[in-house]
Amino acid sequence: MRRFLSAPLLALVSAVAFAQAPRPNIVFILADDLGYGELGCYGEKLITTPHLDRLAAEGMRFTQFYAGCTVCAPSRSVLMTGQHMGHTRVRGNAGRADPAAQTLQADDVTVAQVLRDAGYVTALVGKWGLGLEHDSGEPRAQGFSEYFGFLNQTHAHNHFPDFLWRNGEKVLLPNVVTPVGNVPGVGYATKRVVYANDLFFDEARDFMTRHRAQPFFLYLSLTTPHANNEAARILGDGNEVPDHAAYDNQPWNDSQKNHAAMISRMDAGVGAVMARLKELGLDDRTLVIFTSDNGPHREGGPNYAPEFFTASGPLRGIKRDLWDGGVRVPFIARWTGKIKAGAQSAQVGYFGDYMATFAELTGAKPPANLDSLSLVPTLLSRGPQATHDYLYWEFYEGGTSQSVLLGDRWKGLRLKAVSAPITLYDLVADLGERTDVAAQHPDVVTRIAEIMRTAHVDNDHWKIPLGR
């Protein structure tokens, strides 16, 4: 006679089997200023991204996933700490005026530290932006076994730098740079020999090869398609790339061609990383994630406009906006044999969720006081998925702005001043956030106002006068 397990027992057996399975490697690939709509699998029509489109076809594509913030450093702080913008250490791009405000401290616990403590070898390759060499925020002090790339995020504007950092040591490169300002390395190259992101993809493949026999966490933090702001300001085009050969025949200006080429070159690099995983026999033992740190930029110069490529897709806003176009980002997850191929998820999540997700996948112990939910039930299609009551953002440029998302529907924004009125949008009916419905839903506005008041906790550098 055939016997069948009850649903609860079957779930228990599945969970035990999962816990006993080999722990996955994690390759986390972060693009810089890539918009929600700039990949073919998210609707892009002009820029070719076959490798990332294939990644989505072989894995899961999320449609309502959010960055930690609408600019670089705070978004990465949320990613590293598993805490939202009202709690995380770094809450703005403050490096030039106040470096300490953009530096993780010794008592911060990062996802890299959690995974290293669980026996993973951990590496940062690419852009950091949360601390400089030999201070409390340096990657080795924040859980990374090794690192190679940019520490200062303004230095990272230059795609043809004359030096990078490796484990606290300066690595000189053959590019010749004209300096701009007084931050070392910031400027633009007058002699272009090596492209930083090419080096990063080479380093990523080398790291996986060297550590193929042990579980690893690779944070591959790219600087494309971020513009070189200094080159854009002085030369008129900051979309730096070795060539735009793939788009030579397009009737576009050079800046638009360069931007497209940056994304396609990044796509090819991702393809090379995936090929190396297969060569090493790690394909079915590795979770690969691809996402972006915030929405698309407008900083490539006067001849570049993100609207040309519909960079935000159907969303309103770009980088430095709290509209969804500034914070909703692509999120693709692939793990052969574990994540269903061709899957799509409308599950709401954000950068802070990676902490709980990676901890569950690896058996690591996360710190307390997180704003983080594991996405493992959604990724692996097992068990009920916990959901956020709300997501919360702050932004400090041009005044203090706040934003709250309730569930998957109600989006409230208070822009430029904490005394400003709250506008409200129904994302289900109004994805482009065009119609303010605050007057029709005063109860929702009241709830959002209370979250804006309580979700923020001051730290030494980031304060909001909320009238407590």
pLDDT digits (tens, 9 = 90+) for 185-229: 999 999 999 999 999 999 999 999 999 999 999 999 999 999 999
The residue among 416, 415, 414, 412 whose CA lies nearest residue 425 is: 412
Which are the contacts of 417, defined by CB distance < 8 A and separation ≥ 6? 399, 400
CA 154-158-161 angle, 5° bins: 115
Would you list the domain boundaries of the chain? 11-388, 398-454
Nearest-angstrom CA–CA distance, 231 and 188: 6
Nearest-angstrom CA–CA distance, 32 and 30: 7
Residue 6 buriedness (CB in 10 A; 0-12 / 13-18 / 19+): exposed
Terminal-residue alpha carbon distance, the chain: 68
Number of alpha helices (DSSP H) and beta strands (DSSP E) in the chain:
11, 18
Nearest-angstrom CA–CA distance, 57 and 363: 28
The residue among 459, 451, 301 whose CA lies nearest residue 389 is: 451
CATH code given to domain 398-454: 3.30.1120.10
Nearest-angstrom CA–CA distance, 293 and 90: 14
Give the tens place of pLDDT for each residue, 136-157.
999 999 999 999 999 999 999 9
Alpha helices by DSSP H, listed for 225-294, are 229-235, 254-279
CA-atom Rg of the chain in angstroms: 22
One digit per residue, the tens of pLDDT, for the chain of length 468 reads 333 334 344 344 344 444 456 899 999 999 999 999 999 999 999 999 999 999 999 999 999 999 999 999 999 999 999 999 999 999 999 877 889 999 999 999 999 999 999 999 999 999 999 999 999 999 999 999 999 999 999 999 999 999 999 999 999 999 999 999 999 999 999 999 999 999 999 999 999 999 999 999 999 999 999 999 999 999 999 999 999 999 999 999 999 999 999 999 999 999 999 999 999 999 999 999 999 999 999 999 999 999 999 999 999 999 999 999 999 999 999 999 999 999 999 999 999 999 999 999 999 999 999 999 999 999 999 989 999 999 999 999 999 999 999 999 999 999 999 999 999 999 999 999 999 999 999 999 999 999 999 999 999 999 987 644
Nearest-angstrom CA–CA distance, 29 and 208: 13
Nearest-angstrom CA–CA distance, 141 and 61: 33
Alpha helices by DSSP H, listed for 280-408, are 324-327, 353-362, 376-380
Pairing between strand 410-414 and 401-406?
antiparallel
What's this model's pTM, rounded to 2 decimal places? 0.95
Contact criterion met (CB below 8 Å) for 243 and 254: no
Per the listing, tokens 């609408």 go with 70
CATH homologous superfamily of 11-388 equals Alkaline Phosphatase, subunit A (3.40.720.10)
CB atoms within 10 A of CB 423: 17
